[in-house]
Amino acid sequence: MKLMLRRRVRASLLIVCLTSFGLSSCLARRRVITRSGKNPTPVLLVTDKDALIRSVATQYQAIRDLNATVDMVPAIGSAEKSHITEYKDVRAFIVFRKPADIRIIGLVPVVRNKAFDMVSNGTEFKLYVPAKSRFIVGNNELSQPSPNKVENLRPQHFLDALLVRPVDPKTDETLLENLTDEENAAYILHIVHGDHGQMHIARTIWFSRLNLRMARQIIYDADGSILTDARYSDWQSYDRVPFPKHIEIDRPRDEYAVVINILKMDINSGIGDDKFVLERPEGTALQTVGQNPPPAPAEAPAPPPRKGRNRKK
């Protein structure tokens, strides 16, 4: 009897607790999720896939050309090999003109001599390294990474990260993911391609739900390996065009990365053809990379065996 009475008392206390104070007082503990930024508990913005696709197109179409002065922090190595070496800040100048002309000039810290000069028209590239007295030319497509990290640099890699291409409805299928938890608050736009009946992710574009600005873009190859991982933050207005002031570009397969901080930028001010001309300086060693070797010539068929002649005795 005493045992049954105790159980009834406990049950009654539990019911009173639940009905009088609610779950938050008796059984649950409320946790406030805070996020980085000026407002630690912001209201997350809501949108849909079509609106995000339009925002990417609007951002891309707003820029015809740009001329920027930036600070770069290059790094060589990869996270997979657990070895990354960062270098001192490099002052650099970036000029771009649609559809695909881009030139990047980097200066040596302190003395400000030219460290490198590279240019691309969207198909081919040229890279001049004064310290090595080398002039490298080749295709933008990097079929096989070189052990020499300098040979893996391509202006197109920077362009792919700086200007996020819009979705092409003719070739791209899209899916939208809402990744919102205690650590993330993002919409992820998955861009999918189909080759010969096989589907693969071509890109993912991440948007922060704090402001719906692009926060990240990952570009993949056909096997799902990451080619470029670019992150964007601190969006500013340059000539009334929004653009991220801080950009981080990682090329894991090529084992190099670079952090870009924009110091000054002019957008749509017009850039002449001469800004994209890079001639090979006299006396530099010319090196061609990124091109498949010519096929070996086919072996000529062996001549038929010579028949012996019958000698008359």
pTM of the model: 0.78
Three-class SS state of 21? helix
The pLDDT value recorded for residue 294 is 45
Q: Measured at the alpha carbon of residue 255, what is the angle toward residues 97 and 147, in degrees to the nearest 5?
A: 105
Minimal CA–CA distance to 94: which of 106, 85, 82, 86? 106
Report the C-alpha gap between 253 and 30 in whole angstroms.
Answer: 44
Instruction: Copy the structure tokens of residue 202.
Output: 């071509």
CA distance readout (Å), 96 to 68, 126, 158, 174, 195: 9, 15, 11, 28, 31
Report the C-alpha gap between 290 and 254 in whole angstroms.
Answer: 13
The pLDDT value recorded for residue 141 is 75
The pLDDT value recorded for residue 239 is 96
The number of helices, as runs of H, and strands, as runs of E, in the chain is 4, 15
Residue 138, Ramachandran bin (φ over 0: left; ψ between -120 and 50: alpha; else beta): left
The pLDDT value recorded for residue 127 is 93
pLDDT along the chain (313 residues), means of 10: 55 48 52 60 92 98 98 73 59 96 90 88 92 90 66 83 95 96 94 85 97 97 93 97 97 90 97 96 89 48 54 46
Instruction: Copy the structure tokens of residue 140.
Output: 């933008």
CA distance readout (Å), 210 to 39, 41, 112: 10, 10, 39
Domains of the chain: 49-112+146-270 (2.50.20)
Q: Where are the alpha helices (DSSP H) in 83-164?
A: 155-162
Report the C-alpha gap between 258 and 73 in whole angstroms.
Answer: 5
> What are the DSSP E strand ranges found in 27-121?
65-78, 83-86, 90-97, 101-107, 114-120
Report the C-alpha gap between 156 and 126 in whole angstroms.
Answer: 11
